[in-house]
């Protein structure tokens, strides 16, 4: 078994454990009832999106500095996965918002800034894909990847800086606003999604290297 296959197996195992704990071992919320279980998918998707774009940011800086294709492959792969998980965060957030807020969408600060993040990095992918010169497309995508990351702290602190329907963070330094069984389920879900992301990132980066090799031939 290769390291990549092993990582995939660990991801599947952790996802199974997290799903069981989230659906059966964790209690319903006092106010949201069973709908709170959507949190165990929504929050990990948002966290992984942050992680993916942080990797995009770092890899883009390194690519513009060193001009090594490996950094571009990593940035490209992380961007694709970040867009995927941001879309899933928006989707699960809408599903959660419908019964809790009474609407699928509202022009809330966190929702709007997250939608902007999705569009920014989708634009990075489009710029890369539509460029006639792959190197120029990679450079432009790297610039967007760096500038776009400025939206991440805005999203994170939007519930503090603006009046918003979105609830504030349940886990913050010096503050814990979540019951221990729910915290366990959330932590397991965060771990499982993180390992899944790392597996997918390794897989996608390997594919990016193969694609680049094919283009060179």
Residue 3 is predicted with a pLDDT of: 81
Residue 177 lies in a domain: no
Residue 17 lies in a domain: no
Residue 120 is predicted with a pLDDT of: 97
Residue 196 lies in a domain: no
Residue 93 is predicted with a pLDDT of: 93
Kindly give the confidence (pLDDT) of every residue in the chain, 217 residues in length, as a single tens digit, with 9 standing for 90 and above.
688 888 999 999 999 999 999 999 898 887 888 989 999 999 999 999 999 999 999 999 999 999 999 999 999 999 999 999 999 999 999 999 889 888 888 888 889 999 999 999 999 999 999 988 999 999 999 999 999 999 999 998 887 776 666 666 656 555 566 788 889 999 999 999 999 999 999 999 999 888 877 553 3
Beta carbons within 8 Å of 62's beta carbon, 6+ residues apart: 68, 71
Structural domains of the chain, count: 1
Residue 216 is predicted with a pLDDT of: 39
* Structural domain range at position 44: 37-164+201-216
Residue 171 lies in a domain: no
Residue 5 is predicted with a pLDDT of: 87
CA distance to 36, 83, 159, 214, per residue, from 210 (Å): 42, 22, 42, 6
Residue 185 lies in a domain: no
Residue 184 lies in a domain: no
Residue 170 lies in a domain: no
Cα–Cα distance for residue pair 193/189, rounded to 1 Å: 6
């Amino acid at each position: 078994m290769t390291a990549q296959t092993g990582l995939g197996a660990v991801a599947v195992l952790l996802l199974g454990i997290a799903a069981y704990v989230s659906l059966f071992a964790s209690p319903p919320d006092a106010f949201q009832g069973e709908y709170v279980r959507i949190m165990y998918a929504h929050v990990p998707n948002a966290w992984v999106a942050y992680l993916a774009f942080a990797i995009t940011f770092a890899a883009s800086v390194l690519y513009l500095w060193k001009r090594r294709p490996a950094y571009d492959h990593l940035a490209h792969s992380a961007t694709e996965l970040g867009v995927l998980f941001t879309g899933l965060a928006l989707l699960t957030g809408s599903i959660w918002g419908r019964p809790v807020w009474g609407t699928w969408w509202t022009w809330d600060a966190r929702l709007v800034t997250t939608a902007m993040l999705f569009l920014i990095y989708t634009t990075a992918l489009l710029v890369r894909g539509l460029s006639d010169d792959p190197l120029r497309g990679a450079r432009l995508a790297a610039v967007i990847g760096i500038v776009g990351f400025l939206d991440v702290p805005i999203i994170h602190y939007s519930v503090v800086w603006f009046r918003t329907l979105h609830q504030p963070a349940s886990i913050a330094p010096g503050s814990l606003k979540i019951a221990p069984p729910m915290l366990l389920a959330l932590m397991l879900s965060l771990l499982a999604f993180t390992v899944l992301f790392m597996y997918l990132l390794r897989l996608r980066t390997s594919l990016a290297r193969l694609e680049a090799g094919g283009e060179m031939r």
